[in-house]
A and B are shown apart, each in its own frame.
Chain A
Amino acid sequence: MRLPALACCLVATGLIVTGCSLTEVSGGQEIQVTAGERSDGMFFDPAEITVAPGARVTFVIKNEGSVDHEFESYREGEAGIDEIIIPPGATRRVSWTAPSEAATFPVYCDLPGHRAAGMETALKVVPDTEER
């Protein structure tokens, strides 16, 4: 194979590999989370998520409700999960790496009134948790 052709192949392969990694949200074990509304308010299910220190996980959040919801924990001292809006019926993925020490963070929907209606889950980093 001539040098220019080889270079083109390498560049094309690089672009494909890089392009995939640039548009993917993945890593570690997937944790399924459901968001929605019910008669007594709004919810994330499960209401508590436990991960091991340093674990890389991907939350897969499905909005089964009829209105928009958010999934976030980005204020000072929180988990550092940027907000993402989940339209009704849609699924969104969020990758996150747990800190190396034990901690508990609130993850919530920050749309007006939603957190007060119960839309919050506790994200716990607990040593001796089975590595995900």
Chain B
Amino acid sequence: MSSSFIITLREGLEAGLIVAIILAYLKASGQRPHFRTVLISAVAAVAVSLSVGAAIFAIAGEFAGRSAEAFEGTAMLIAVGVLSWMVVWMKRQAAGIKKTLETDVAQAIGVGSAFALALIPFTAILREGLETAVFLFAATRTATPLESTIGASAGLLGAIALTWGIYSGGYRVNLRVFFNVTGVLLVVLAAGLLVNGLKELHEAGVISNLGPHAWDTYNTLPDNSQLGKFLSTILGYDSSPYLGLVIAHVAYLVLALTFFAFGRAPSLRPAAAASHQPGTEAVPEPEGS
């Protein structure tokens, strides 16, 4: 539930901020009639994302036994890749997203193309939606459907409330802190997903050997107890992990957190510069993708 909540809260807020940036720009430049185009486009992107998500779940339902484990394991590793890209490497490029969006919107309005204008929020939100679909699918493999649904819904509602609060100017959020904290949480979640994905592929016979068991803490904290299951879902806890999984887990955490920590500094300058563009102060810039 917790991982679904964090995913939809962060991705939902990112998508919401994209819409808010565009609307704030249109409002400041006296282009309110284009609001409808942007909102319809945003709803369409959400609908396509939901359809893709439903298709992924439907396809997964067609598999059984070892092929299902192989599919789920592969989906988890894809989610880890998508998430790593999103949190770490896209951070630098996403820093200029506000300026890019405003430039694109100005050009679309300049040539008088409603389609071009609609395409801007559509593609940006679709990217967030597809990331969410893949990651939610992977996260729900280790949680019950009810837990995932409650967590994802709560995160989405939180994102909508935050976006509306920020757009209307009545609610101030330190987005830098928000995206840094959720970024680190997502890296930790991704490390857990990596472990669970490799375990699925091992059980499916795709990976033949992960080495010996590194230790056994079952008598202290069984992985099938309530707390053990929770930690397994969130962090990939295993009371008797294979050595290969331990190495993969630690290596991923070290690499991803290093990139996250040291890949951030250069991106802050254009972000700070962009936030001082006339008419754009209302909506702070997201740091993640």
Residues of A bordering B, CB below 8 Å: 19, 21-25, 70, 75-76, 82-85, 87, 90, 92-94, 110-112
> Are A84 and B240 in contact (CB-based, < 8 A)?
no
| Of B65, B66, B220, B223, the contact of A84 (CB 8 Å cutoff) | B223
State how many angstroms separate the Cβ of A58 from the closest Cβ of chain B. Answer: 11
Task: Given A85-B240, A112-B205, decide whether A25 and B222 contact each other with a Cβ distance below 8 A.
Answer: yes
> Are B240 and A94 in contact (CB-based, < 8 A)?
no
State how many angstroms separate the Cβ of B85 from the closest Cβ of chain A. Answer: 31
How many chain B residues sit at the interface, stated as a range, is 10 to 19
> Are B225 and A90 in contact (CB-based, < 8 A)?
no
> Are A23 and B240 in contact (CB-based, < 8 A)?
no
> Are B203 and A110 in contact (CB-based, < 8 A)?
yes
Q: How far is the CA of A70 from the CA of B64 in the complex (A)?
A: 18
State how many angstroms separate the Cβ of A84 from the closest Cβ of chain B. Answer: 5
State how many angstroms separate the Cβ of B14 from the closest Cβ of chain A. Answer: 34
Residues of B within 8 A of A87 (CB): 213, 216, 240
Q: Smallest CB-CB separation from A81: which chain B residue?
A: B224
Residues of B within 8 A of A90 (CB): 216, 218, 240
Q: How far is the CA of A47 from the CA of B220 in the complex (A)?
A: 30
For chain B residues 148-205, which have a beta carbon within 8 Å of chain A? 203, 205
Task: Supply 9 further A-B pairs (C-beta < 8 A) apart from A84-B224, A112-B66.
Answer: A23-B221, A23-B226, A23-B228, A25-B222, A25-B224, A75-B64, A84-B223, A87-B240, A92-B222
Residues of A within 8 A of B218 (CB): 90, 92
For chain B residues 212-255, which have a beta carbon within 8 Å of chain A? 213, 216, 218, 220-228, 240
Q: Smallest CB-CB separation from A90: which chain B residue?
A: B216
